[in-house]
Amino acid sequence: MADFLSNGVSALLAFQKALDVTSQNISNVATPGYSRQSVSLVTNPPEQAGNGWIGTGVNVNTITRSYNEFLAAEVRSSSSTYQRSKEFSANATQVDNMFADSKTGLSATLQSFSSAVQNMANTPASTAPRQVVLSQAQALASQLQSYNGQLTTLGVQLESRVQTTASDISSIAQNIAKLNGEISNAQALNGQPPNDLLDQRDHLLTQLSADVNINVSQQGGSVNVYIGNGQPLVVGTVASTLGTAPNAYDPTRNDLVLKSANGSANVTSSMTGGTLGGMLDFRTQVLDPAQSTLGLISVGIANVVNQQQSAGVDLNGNAGQPIFAVGGVQVQTNANNAGSATLAVTRSTISALTGSNYILQDTAGGWKLSNAATGANVPLTGAGTSASPFQADGLSIVVSGTATVGDRFAIQPTTGATSGLNVLLTNPAQIAAGSPITAAAGTTNTGTATIAGGTVVNPSNAQLKTAATIQFLSATTYSINGTGSYAYTSGQPITANGWQVTVSGAPATGDTFTVGYTTANTGDNSNALKLAAVFNQPMLNGGKDSVNATLSSFIGNLGTVTKQAQNDSAAQQSVNSSATQSLSNVSGVNLDEEAANLLQFQQAYQAAAQLIGISSTLFTSILQAVRGQ
């Protein structure tokens, strides 16, 4: 019924609601995820009054929230990208800082070892500089092991955080599913949106996007959430569980498993974005390559030093023994293998090692080797037997037992090398500073020829330690120990008794050169000079790079990746801040605006109360007039 009083009452109630909503906005100005609410007022249906229509007041149609789904989706997307780059950058920076210090880093320690060997070459018969060489060798091994230990610790911490993050994602998913049900039930009661519940759900979606990249779709009053390659995390009121399980090759490493009513699926390779994606990307793009490359450098150090050590003789006149021991190739058997096959893998050609890891799989067409990171096929030669091992990228692989089609093995040629790096020598006299072969010109020579070299080419030759004399029968021929007449060419190596020397220049008839095995305490430093320069010898990556070059490349690439990650993180932070600000401009509470609204609604409320008061006065007057009649 259209009348003065009912209009006033409807206005009073409507503006009371408006004041209630305004107070709600002011109370939640600092509440994360809260969207500003407003009252939507509509006029009540008018009534016909003879010569026109008369309004019946005002009513609250609904309470809306200021929210933009497109902007919210932008916030979620940018948050996922930013958190991924932030996590990747933070972890990469830790590794970069570990290796970057030029004064205390690995490059400096390599140089200290070379300098110690060079000092030993100045006084090769002295014990003190030899002891320094062993100390520097131990320092080198210890530093490499320390780096490897730090990387391993970082990996352990990472696995723990992967577990925690997966648990957090599952918890958020459960809460979203619960809110889906509550929102649907609330809307079914009166058809009105439960704004506070919607804010809570949207805030959870934003939190979830910080952990992992998500896709959200609306279905009635519910939202469905998908992760990875479209795997459903939340569908209506049902949430799947994201958990971890031991990797089939390495039980210390976590795989991500999505468990639902339809079963379980390994989703590790499809997890992108958010802190979880950043951790997984760091693991595959920085941590694993760093450990493999560190192992490759360890293998290179041990190989090149031991090789040069074996080419000399120690202070006691004995052949040089290895200075370093290094860890072997790691082979991991897939937990799902059905056959009984086992692998024995060794490094056969150090220069052919790549630092990559591999998967060897038994297929219907035979054994197949692939790069573990890229999946690219790696050519295999040989039959895989002890008589004819598989050969690939510097590895020798022997398969024993019986395999079943589908059986797989993970091969890590260098990852475990550093943990097994140790110094074998304890006696400084065992450092092979001298050349095993000593060559000298006769004191009565009249020609200009000189002799150089003195290397062992056949250590098993029975005459290796037998002294020999090269005598020139003419300027172009020579004999060895009075036997033979061999043609002489200046600079052409002369080989005999398992050794090799080089005579250059113009000898005179009768000139002699003696060649013999180096005896104890001779003070020769020929091999020490070569040992001091071994880290610059190209012997890794197909014989193209030295140990120093490989290390420099590794540190340089790591620095580049880290810098790019830091720049990307800063850029993505700016994008996310901009998207968040855009959404806040729409959804955020402005206290100045709310103060203005509060004043407006207060005045309207007071005016409505005044209407009711006036209607009461008029009604009283009418009653009094009636009584007076």
pLDDT at 1 over 60: no
Mean pLDDT of 536-560: 91
Q: In which region does residue 93 sit, left (phi positive, over 0), alpha (psi from -120 to 50) or beta (all else)? A: alpha
Instruction: Please tell me the predicted confidence (pLDDT) of residue 257.
Output: 96
pLDDT of residue 628: 64
284-294 pLDDT per residue, tens? 999 999 999 99
What's the mean pLDDT in 491-512?
94
Burial class (CB in 10 A: 0-12, 13-18, 19+), 342: middle
Report the mean per-residue pLDDT for the chain: 92
Residues whose CB falls within 8 Å of the CB of residue 556, separated by 6 or more in sequence, listed in order: none
User: Residue 155: its pLDDT value, please?
Assistant: 95
pLDDT in tens, 262-284: 889 999 999 999 999 999 999 99
Q: Let me know: does 372 contact 253? Beta carbons within 8 Å.
A: no
pLDDT at 511: 95
Pairwise CA distance, residues 548 & 535, whole Å: 6
User: In which residue are the tokens 């002294």 written?
Assistant: 467
The model's confidence at residue 629, banded by pLDDT at 50, 70 and 90, is: low
Across 154-177, average pLDDT:
96
Q: How confident is the model at residue 2 (pLDDT cuts 50, 70, 90)?
A: low
- pLDDT of residue 259 exceeding 60, the answer is yes
Crossing angle between the packed helical segments 547-587 and 288-310, to the nearest 10 degrees:
170
Q: What is the pLDDT of residues 401-431, one digit of tens each?
A: 999 999 999 999 999 999 999 999 999 999 9
Question: What are the contacts of 534-540 at 24+ separation with CB within 8 A?
Answer: 534/114, 534/304, 534/305, 534/307, 534/308, 535/110, 535/113, 535/114, 535/301, 535/304, 537/304, 539/300, 539/303, 539/304, 539/350, 539/351, 540/296, 540/300, 540/350, 540/351, 540/353
In 3-state terms, what secondary structure has residue 378? strand
Is pLDDT above 90 for 465? no
Among candidate residues 154, 378, 175, 165, the one with its CA nearest the CA of residue 288: 154
Cα–Cα separations (whole angstroms), residue 217 to 73, 240, 268, 277, 302: 11, 16, 23, 21, 57
| In the predicted structure, residue 152 carries a pLDDT above the cut 60 | yes
Please determine, for residue 329, whether its predicted confidence score (pLDDT) is greater than 70. yes
Q: Which secondary-structure segment (H or E) carries 442?
A: none
Dump pLDDT digits (tens) for 193-223.
999 999 999 999 999 999 999 999 998 889 9
Q: Please tell me which residue, 17 or 519, carries the higher pLDDT value.
A: 17
Task: Determine the straight-line distance between the first and last CA of the chain, rounded to whole angstroms.
Answer: 27
- Average pLDDT for 6-14: 85
Residues with Cβ within 8 Å of 154's Cβ and at least 6 positions away in sequence, in order, are 91, 94, 95, 287
Indicate the DSSP class of residue 365: T
Percent of the chain surpassing pLDDT 70: 99
Whether the CB-CB separation of 511 and 449 falls below 8 Å is answered with: yes
**What is the distance between the alpha carbons of residues 314 and 124, in angstroms, rounded to a whole number?**
10
C-alpha torsion sign, points 258, 259, 261, 265: positive
pLDDT of residue 536: 93
Output the six-digit token pair for 157.
């911490």
Angle, helices 127-190/69-100, rounded to nearest 10 degrees: 170
- CB contact at 8 A, 348 and 339: no
3-state secondary structure of 331: strand
Name the DSSP class of 52.
S
Give the mean pLDDT of 369-376.
93
Instruction: Extract the tokens encoding 565.
Output: 């990650």
pLDDT band at 523 (very low <50, low <70, confident <90, very high): confident
Task: Give the model's confidence band at 522: pLDDT under 50 very low, under 70 low, under 90 confident, else very high.
Answer: confident
Say whether 314 sits in a helix, a strand or coil: coil
Among 129-143, 266-280, 342-356, 520-534, the range scoring the smallest mean pLDDT is 520-534
268 DSSP 8-state letter: G
The helix/strand/coil state of 76 is helix
Tell me what pLDDT residue 617 has: 78
pTM of the model: 0.87
Q: Could you tell me which of 446, 457, 444 has the C-alpha nearest to residue 494? A: 457
Where do the DSSP E strands lie in 103-230?
A: 214-219, 222-227
For residue range 585-628, list pLDDT tens digits in order: 999 999 999 899 999 989 988 888 888 888 777 777 777 777 76
Does an H or E element contain 43, and which?
strand 37-43
What backbone torsions phi and psi does residue 24 show, to the nearest 5 degrees?
A: -65, -45
Q: If pLDDT is split at 50, 70 and 90, which confidence band does 249 have?
A: very high
3-state secondary structure 460-516: CCCCCCCCEEEEECCCCEEEECCEEEEECCCCCEEEECCEEEEEECCCCCCCEEEEE
